[in-house]
Amino acid sequence: MTRRFEFRLTDIAGLGVVHRVIAEDHRGFFSRLFCAEEFMGVGFTKQIAQINHTLTRRKGVVRGLHFQYPPHAEMKIVSCLRGEIYDVAVDLRVGSPTFLHWHAEVLSAENRRSLMIPEGFAHGFQALTNDCEIIYLHSTLYQPAAEGALNATDPLLAIAWPLEITEMSDRDRNHPLLSDEFKGIAT
């Protein structure tokens, strides 16, 4: 079997970076976004239930940090198909040695990287270029009643956004800051 992906685990358990291997010739290229067999081997053990596609028009915009509470917690694979983003995942798992630690990767059409995010993480990104198109593969259907979020500018997280944040939705801007009451989510 030809391997279509290279997987690299991060310092946060379960969080992985995926590099899509391409087959290319003078006509163009072929790239696979997902293969259940290969992803299962690195911990993505659920089926894909939903695929979302977004466009962020302006550089500097931050979207997120979103997650879903159990029993609707989701695994995600995030890929950038046009432009370049700074993609961030924050560990929210109760008892995790990396609780509230975050990891970021630059994802772009050119580098063909994806971020594989396990259950129990918040996710968001900053557009590093204009007109960024993102595709998200989700293991669970979106459930509005199960939605949770962190404030992307929370000083406790201290996310080092590479650009000045030029815009956020009112909803994302108004998510409360973390307090001692937040103990994480059980996965």
- Catalytic residue of the set 86, 136, 138, 175: 136
Look-up: residue for tokens 């000083």?
155
Whether residue 123 lies in the annotated active site: no
From the list 128, 124, 161, the residue with the least C-alpha distance to 58 is 128
**162 dihedral zone (left: phi>0; alpha: psi -120 to 50; beta):** alpha
Whether residue 86 lies in the annotated active site: no
Report how far residue 62's alpha carbon sits from residue 56's, in angstroms, rounded to the nearest whole number.
Answer: 9
Report how far residue 117's alpha carbon sits from residue 123's, in angstroms, rounded to the nearest whole number.
Answer: 8
Look-up: residue for tokens 């594989």?
116
- Catalytic residue of the set 66, 103, 138, 175: 66
Catalytic site residues?
66, 136
